Structure 1
Amino acid sequence: MPAKSAAQQKAAGAALAAKRGDMKRSELKGASKSMEKSMSEIELEKMASTKRKGKPEHKTKH
């Protein structure tokens, strides 16, 4: 499941770092906090590894 925006990719990276123990879970905020709880390490890895080139900073709401 690739990230749809750069912000989503960054949040997945932070959640993955917390899940692996590279950063404290208490440091997570917003989307990364819920991603860490609801997604597996493999799902987070796929989303975090998405290339940012050509992605909008935030996904538009339509």
Structure 2
Amino acid sequence: MPAKSKQQQMAAGAALAAKRGQRKVSSLKGASRGMYKSMSKAELRRMAKTKRKGKPKKKRR
């Protein structure tokens, strides 16, 4: 599933780095921690590789 905003993409990238062992899990906060716990590496990779062009900084509700 592609990211809907720049922040969501960045959180997915941080969670993916933690899954790969490139970043400490304790450094994750908020959405990235939730993504780390609930998503697989493949799902995180798909979300993190989304192109940023045309994405809002934050998704409005």
- Fold match, TM over 0.5? yes
The alignment-based identity, stated in percent, is: 69
Letter in 2 for 1:2: P
User: Over aligned residues, Cα RMSD in angstroms?
Assistant: 0.3
**1:33, distance to aligned residue in structure 2 (A):** 0.3
Letter in 1 for 2:41: E
Instruction: Report what 1:17 is aligned to.
Output: 17
Instruction: Report what 1:3 is aligned to.
Output: 3
How many pairs were matched up?
Answer: 61
TM-score, normalised by the number of residues in structure 2: 0.99
Where structure 1 has 5 or more consecutive residues not aligned to the other structure, the ranges are none
Quick one: distance in 2 between partners of 1:29 and 1:54? 26
Where structure 2 has 5 or more consecutive residues not aligned to the other structure, the ranges are none
Letter in 2 for 1:16: L
TM-score, normalised by the number of residues in structure 1: 0.97
Letter in 2 for 1:12: A
| Structure 1 SS opposite 2:58 | coil
Letter in 2 for 1:36: Y
